[in-house]
Amino acid sequence: MTYPTVIFQITAIGKNPRALAESAHSVLHWMRGTPRLAFRGQVWLVIEPKGYATNPALYEGLRAEGCRLMVVPPEYTTPLGAHGKARALQYAVEQRQALRISTADTWVYHQDEETCVGEDTLRGISEFIEEGRYQVGVGIILYPIDWAGTPSHVQELTRSYDDYRVLDSMTMPGNPTSGVHGSHILVRSDLEDDVGWDSIGYEPAEDLTFEIRLRRKFGAVFGVLKGFAYEKGAFSLGDQLRQRRRWMHGVLHALRHTHELPAKRRLTLTYSALSWFSALPSIAILLAGLELRYGPLLLVSGVFTGFIWISMVTGYLEGYRMHSEYIQLHISRTRFVLHAIVGALVDVLAPWYALASQPSLGDFIPKERPYCQISPTPIPTAAPA
């Protein structure tokens, strides 16, 4: 047995350099501050040239601090011609293959640009690798960073509580409720590099396709990854809407174009999309009920109404409690309820908005506050790799 290596891979456009730097620093900080870890750590930053151009000095600083900086060359193409994040992820796969580290001794921990780790994350990774039962680990993500109590931030709290469902689903055969994560996921490199991230054109939800491929080829390799990851929610309702739209585009894209999707999984994925789509008509029908009379059928549908309402309220309440150790700002109950309603309405609208619009590579969600905007600088002629 040798010490395995964990690559903390932050794959992003790179247009949120400060958020990205904070993520990288969180790894460096806790790698140094957490003894008894049974792995070696490396930080890989895989970014696009236009992201690098926003703050070359910062990226070079990160390189000097020990991070491996990879700017995906503009001329790089994958065999299938992937665009967007899938292309960058495939580039990292090929780099590992070139370095001959696509082995069972190398693990890749995927981070978004705002995914910070904590002591618990590193301990969780260490335990997961030492136990050696599974080859892919998924965990719960909290959203406490820069939490400001806005509607989009309140809505994000429910995602953490929902992660219990996601984890249970992902670790069950067939992923019955179609849970998936693109960050805070630990994958053994030989598995990841085998299935790869390559896809035809733009893949709005590359993580979903990746999970489908992994499951199809390797079966029940998913286990619970202990420890949280720490991210930040969308800053505005517009960002929240665009983010959710991208998710729905991902689901629809997978249903239409992913041929590896087994029939059973296609069914569950369709159902989960349908559930989401049903939210808006549900509200419309509820409001229409003030005028229309639905009659005795309510004796059937009303049986479950209480359960659905309470489940939704529990999501907010427990989500908030899960964050209470971490968020500094506490808002009044009235404000919380109002923001929850507004945030929920955006989520209700999102799938229909996705139907009415096209997937776009421009679905870039800012993760830095507006006053942190950085003026762009020219792209260097020779992008460092």
Partner 1 sequence: MSEPTDPTSFRSPPDASGATATEEAIDPTWNDPVKVLDELARVDAELRPRRPRSGASVPRPEPVAAAVYSEDPTPAETELSPHLEERLELASASLVQMGAGLRAIDDQWRELRAAADRLEEQMEGAAKEMEFLRERAGTMPAGAAARGPLSSAAEALAARSAAHQLPVDAPYGQFTADRYRRTVDAVKDRRRSMAAWTIGLAVAISGALLTFTYLAHEGTPPLWLALLPLVWLIPVPFFLVSFLATQRLVSQNALDLAGGS
Of residues 33-62, those binding partner 1 (CB under 8 A): 33-42
Sheet holding 229-230, edge to edge: 116-117, 229-230, 141-142
Q: Contact, 71 vs 48, CB < 8 A? A: yes
Q: Quote the least distance from Cβ 363 to partner 1, whole Å.
A: 25
Site for partner 1 in 263-282 (CB under 8 A): 271-272, 274-275, 278-279, 281-282
Ranges assigned E (strand) in the chain: 5-11, 40-47, 68-71, 106-111, 116-117, 136-138, 141-142, 185-188, 222-224, 229-230
Q: Which residue has the tokens 């992923």?
A: 175
Which parts of 68-97 interact with partner 1 (CB under 8 A)?
A: none
Q: Which stretch binds partner 1 (CB under 8 A): 9-17, 70-78, 245-253, 289-297?
A: 289-297
- Residue 43 backbone phi and psi in degrees, to 5: -115, 120
Q: To the nearest whole angstrom, how small is the minimum distance from the Cβ of residue 360 to partner 1?
A: 28
Regarding 259 and contact with partner 1 (CB under 8 A), the answer is no
| Residues ≥6 apart with Cβ < 8 Å to 214 | 136, 187, 191, 192, 195, 221, 222
Handedness of CA 43, 138, 329, 346 (dihedral sign): positive
Q: Which is nearer to partner 1, 86 or 92 (CB)?
A: 92
CB of 75 to partner 1, least distance (A): 29
Closest of 223, 215, 143, 140 to residue 184, by C-alpha? 140
Cβ closest to partner 1, residue 280 vs residue 374: 280
- Identify the residue among 60, 148, 159, 177 touching partner 1 (CB under 8 A): 177
Site for partner 1 in 9-38 (CB under 8 A): 22, 25-26, 28-38
Q: How far is the CB of 240 from partner 1 (least distance, A)?
A: 20
Stretch that binds partner 1, among 72-80, 113-121, 252-260, 359-367 (CB under 8 A): 113-121
Q: Which of 50, 60, 94, 120 binds partner 1 (CB under 8 A)?
A: 120
Asked if 45 and 69 touch (Cβ cutoff 8 Å), the reply is yes
Q: Per CB under 8 A, which of residues 204..243 are in contact with partner 1?
A: 224, 226-228, 230
Closer by beta carbon to partner 1, 52 or else 161 = 161
- Write down the least CB distance from residue 242 to partner 1, Å: 23
Please report how close the Cβ of residue 316 comes to partner 1 at its closest, in angstroms.
13
289 phi and psi angles, rounded to 5 deg? -60, -20
Q: How far is the CB of 120 from partner 1 (least distance, A)?
A: 3
325, 220 contact by CB (below 8 A): no
Contact range with partner 1 by CB under 8 A, out of 84-92, 114-122, 148-156, 235-243: 114-122
| Site of tokens 């509580």 | 161
Footprint on residues 295-334 left by partner 1 (CB under 8 A): 295-311, 314, 318, 321-322, 325-326
Where helices occur in 171-236 by DSSP H, the ranges are 189-195, 206-218
